[in-house]
């Protein structure tokens, strides 16, 4: 880029001297329209459980979901994402609970659609909340099987869509999943259901608090690195996204967020498709704990969200969504 002008005739600080002029020349900002609120659901009744690893975040029994959904609707958050804390008694080696029309996600979708029909609902497609081994797919001979997993998660996607889910979000990272799920949805007269692909989901150390929140932990020596992406790679993300777009993805996701802003920008620049980013549990907890200890101030939350927008993100899945939406609409 050619720089026009120079010091002393050009003084860039002139456009920073006052609040009003800084507002006029802002290049990026966050609005409520950018926010997706993740919500954890748990078994039982009359339950609101604080998640110790994620300060200020709670698990809700289905009958208590209205507490948080009504708040999200009031501040006009467009989309919420449902994640289940499946009881150990309902987990098995094959993740059978994923196909139960009365599992936590399905019950939550029906409840929300009945009471808050205008808010969008997103649900993950993956088996890790339902498997006793904590992996996203079917295991055989110490391997996570790709094609056998596709058969099950396509049924899971159909079930969630039939319950009223608006956005199906495959997060399993199996090859070919978007094409298989898109065909299954179309075949079952669910053509209007959207697909958000976790296209660039990295094998990351930032997921720990989330896995605690949903009660998912690996109990074998099989590594998720055999299907989630290597954090050293960025060109690989381009290939993943290209394949998912070709197979029918309406949006794509980068997860985690802050360590992968370069990936967000590269995808946006190359494909001009809506790119979502997930500010994951580890990112949230780091910022939240630093604020509570006085190491950061609350402005760091907005700063982190702006960085996503600056890199090209169309929307942000963030546990800060409700607090930020309240601030933006007050």
User: What positions carry a catalytic annotation?
Assistant: 201, 255
Contact 174, 153 (CB under 8 A): yes
- Is residue 9 domain-resident? no
Q: What is the pLDDT of residue 219?
A: 61
Q: What is the pLDDT of residue 221?
A: 66
- Is residue 221 domain-resident? yes
CB atoms within 10 A of CB 252: 28
User: CA-to-CA distance for 144 and 224, rounded, in angstroms?
Assistant: 9
If one counts the domains in the chain, the total is 1
What phi and psi values does residue 25 have, to the nearest 5 degrees? -105, 10
Contact 284, 299 (CB under 8 A): no
Could you list the residue range(s) of the whole structural domain that residue 185 is in? 30-329
- Is residue 57 domain-resident? yes
Tell me the whole-structure pTM to 2 decimals: 0.95
User: CA-to-CA distance for 296 and 310, rounded, in angstroms?
Assistant: 21
User: 174-211: string of b/e by CB count within 10 Å (b at 16+)?
Assistant: beebbbbbbebbeeeebeebbbbbbbbbbebebbebbb
- Is residue 14 domain-resident? no
CA angle 30–33–37, rounded 5-degree value: 95
User: CA-to-CA distance for 149 and 260, rounded, in angstroms?
Assistant: 27
Q: What is the pLDDT along the chain (330 residues), one digit of tens a residue?
A: 787 888 898 899 999 999 999 999 999 999 999 999 999 999 999 999 999 999 999 999 999 999 999 999 999 999 999 999 999 999 999 999 999 999 999 999 999 999 999 999 999 999 999 999 999 999 998 899 999 999 999 999 999 999 999 999 999 999 999 999 999 999 999 999 999 999 999 999 999 888 888 887 666 667 899 999 999 999 999 999 999 999 999 999 999 999 999 999 999 999 999 999 999 999 999 999 999 999 999 999 999 999 999 999 999 999 999 999 999 998
- Is residue 265 domain-resident? yes
- Is residue 93 domain-resident? yes
- Is residue 12 domain-resident? no
CB atoms within 10 A of CB 138: 23
- Is residue 22 domain-resident? no
User: In CATH, what number is assigned to the domain containing residue 66?
Assistant: 3.20.20.70
Contact 227, 303 (CB under 8 A): no
């Amino acid at each position: 880029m050619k720089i026009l002008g120079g010091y002393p005739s050009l003084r860039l600080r002139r456009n920073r001297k006052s609040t009003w002029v800084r507002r006029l020349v802002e290049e990026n900002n966050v609005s409520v329209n950018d926010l997706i609120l993740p919500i954890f659901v748990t078994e039982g009744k009359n339950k609101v459980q604080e998640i110790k690893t994620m300060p200020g975040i709670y698990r809700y029994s289905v009958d208590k979901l209205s507490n948080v959904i009504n708040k999200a609707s009031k501040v006009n958050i467009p989309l919420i994402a449902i994640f289940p804390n499946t009881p150990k008694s309902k987990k098995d080696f094959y993740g059978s609970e994923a196909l139960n029309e009365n599992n936590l996600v399905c019950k939550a979708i029906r409840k929300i659609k009945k009471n808050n029909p205008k808010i969008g609902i997103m649900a993950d497609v993956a088996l890790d909340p339902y498997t006793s081994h904590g992996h996203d797919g079917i295991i055989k001979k110490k391997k996570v099987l790709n094609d056998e997993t596709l058969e099950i998660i396509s049924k899971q996607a159909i079930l969630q869509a039939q319950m009223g889910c608006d956005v199906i979000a495959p997060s399993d990272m199996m090859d070919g999943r978007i094409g298989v799920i898109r065909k299954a949805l179309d075949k079952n007269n669910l053509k209007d259901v959207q697909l958000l692909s976790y296209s660039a989901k990295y094998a990351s150390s930032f997921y720990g608090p989330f896995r605690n929140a949903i009660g998912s932990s690996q109990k074998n020596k099989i590594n998720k690195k055999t299907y989630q992406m290597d954090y050293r790679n960025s060109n690989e993300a381009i290939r993943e996204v290209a394949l998912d777009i070709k197979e029918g993805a309406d949006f794509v996701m980068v997860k985690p967020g802050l360590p992968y802003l370069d990936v967000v920008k590269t995808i946006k620049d190359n494909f001009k498709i809506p790119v979502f980013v997930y500010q994951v549990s580890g990112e949230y907890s780091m910022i939240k704990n630093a604020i509570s200890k006085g190491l950061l101030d609350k402005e760091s939350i907005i700063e982190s969200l702006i960085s996503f927008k600056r890199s090209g993100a169309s929307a942000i899945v963030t546990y800060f969504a409700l607090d930020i939406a309240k601030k933006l609409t007050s």
